[in-house]
């Protein structure tokens, strides 16, 4: 008979034998699937957290950057406002100082005569005026700040660069309007002896005199009188000269004796 010992080949025993073989494998597969799902879920959660952190960092960084830009813009605006205020204040001081100086040194005075009495006749003044006589007239201003007014026009050929001219003059400090030199006055020589007044002869444009004269006397004619307003840079600059302090603007009345 086809029976086996202990019933090992019976259908019931065969079924039980199959269950014992495949059940452990199925549980292992289920466990692997669960682990795979858990790992996938963890990856999704980690990716989501990382994305959230990156977004949060990006938003925070953007806010901080915008705040930084706003602060820098505010600082720049404050600096610009401060610089503008300083510039305006400086310009105001300079304008006020210039206006005060022009008024004080009487370079031109509205309502004053065109030719002051000291120059009204042909006689040579006996001495240079202590303060600049008040005059009125058309002011010519050059780009370098040099100014002049023709008190008298004169006649004959106009002086040019290279012209030899003979002049009398009086110079005043622009800040005080006080005389510092005049060819109408007697001068002590090197020995201390007093020398009589005498005009000055020079050639224009050769550096024999200050630059304000070399430029400011172009165009003068014999018999004319020109008033010059000479900025310090065209005069004696920061070093000054004798009674002239450094960085001092000057005024000269120059009477033209001859032009050659």
Q: Do 98 and 195 share a domain, yes or no?
A: no
Q: Do 101 and 199 share a domain, yes or no?
A: no
Q: Do 124 and 154 share a domain, yes or no?
A: yes
Within-domain flag for 198: yes
Number of domains composing the chain: 2
CA distance 12 to 99: 128
Print pLDDT tens along the chain (260 aa): 444 444 445 555 544 444 444 455 666 777 777 778 888 888 888 888 888 888 888 888 888 888 888 888 888 877 777 666 655 544 444 333 344 444 444 799 988 999 998 888 766 777 899 999 999 999 999 999 999 999 999 999 999 999 999 999 999 999 888 999 999 998 777 777 778 889 999 999 999 999 999 999 999 999 999 999 999 999 999 999 999 999 999 999 999 999 99
* Best CA proximity match to 179, nearest among 256, 253, 75, 88: 253
Q: Do 75 and 133 share a domain, yes or no?
A: no
CA distance 213 to 180: 16
Which of 105, 126, 156 is where one domain is finished? 105
* Best CA proximity match to 223, nearest among 131, 147, 119, 106: 119
Within-domain flag for 221: yes
Predicted TM-score (pTM) above 0.95: no
What range defines the domain where residue 45 resides? 1-105
Q: Do 68 and 127 share a domain, yes or no?
A: no
Which of 45, 76, 105 is where one domain is finished? 105
Neighbours of 203 (CB within 10 A): 15
Residue 225: C-alpha distances to residues 145, 153, 206 (Å): 20, 7, 22
* Best CA proximity match to 174, nearest among 223, 122, 234: 234
Q: Which residues of 48-63 are buried (b: 16+ CB within 10 A; e: fewer)?
A: eeeeeeeeeeeeeeee
Query: What CATH number does the domain containing 203 carry?
Result: 3.10.50.40
Which of 62, 79, 105 is where one domain is finished? 105
Within-domain flag for 194: yes
* Residue 186 φ/ψ, nearest 5 degrees: -70, 150
């Amino acid at each position: 008979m086809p029976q086996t010992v202990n019933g090992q080949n019976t259908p019931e025993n065969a079924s039980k034998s199959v269950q014992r073989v495949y059940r452990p494998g199925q549980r292992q597969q289920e466990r692997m699937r669960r682990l795979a799902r858990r790992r996938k879920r963890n990856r999704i959660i980690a990716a989501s957290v990382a994305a959230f952190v990156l977004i949060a960092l990006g938003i925070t960084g953007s806010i901080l950057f915008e705040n930084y830009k706003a602060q820098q813009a505010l600082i720049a605006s404050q600096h610009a406002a401060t610089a503008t205020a300083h510039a305006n204040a400086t310009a105001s001081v300079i304008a006020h100082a210039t206006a005060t100086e022009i008024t004080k040194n009487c370079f031109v005075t509205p309502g004053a005569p065109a030719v002051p009495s000291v120059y009204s006749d042909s006689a040579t003044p006996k001495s240079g005026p202590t303060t600049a006589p008040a005059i009125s007239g058309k002011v010519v201003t050059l780009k370098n700040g040099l100014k002049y007014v023709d008190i008298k026009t004169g006649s004959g050929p106009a002086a040019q660069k290279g012209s030899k001219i003979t002049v009398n003059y009086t110079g005043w400090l622009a800040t005080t309007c006080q005389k510092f030199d005049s060819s109408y006055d007697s001068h002590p020589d090197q020995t201390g002896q007093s020398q009589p007044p005498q005009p000055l002869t020079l050639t224009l444009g050769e550096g024999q005199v200050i630059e304000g004269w070399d430029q400011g006397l172009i165009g003068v004619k014999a018999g004319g009188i020109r008033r010059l307003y000479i900025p310090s840079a065209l005069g004696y600059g920061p070093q000054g000269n004798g009674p002239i302090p450094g960085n001092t603007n000057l005024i000269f009345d120059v009477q033209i004796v001859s032009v050659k």
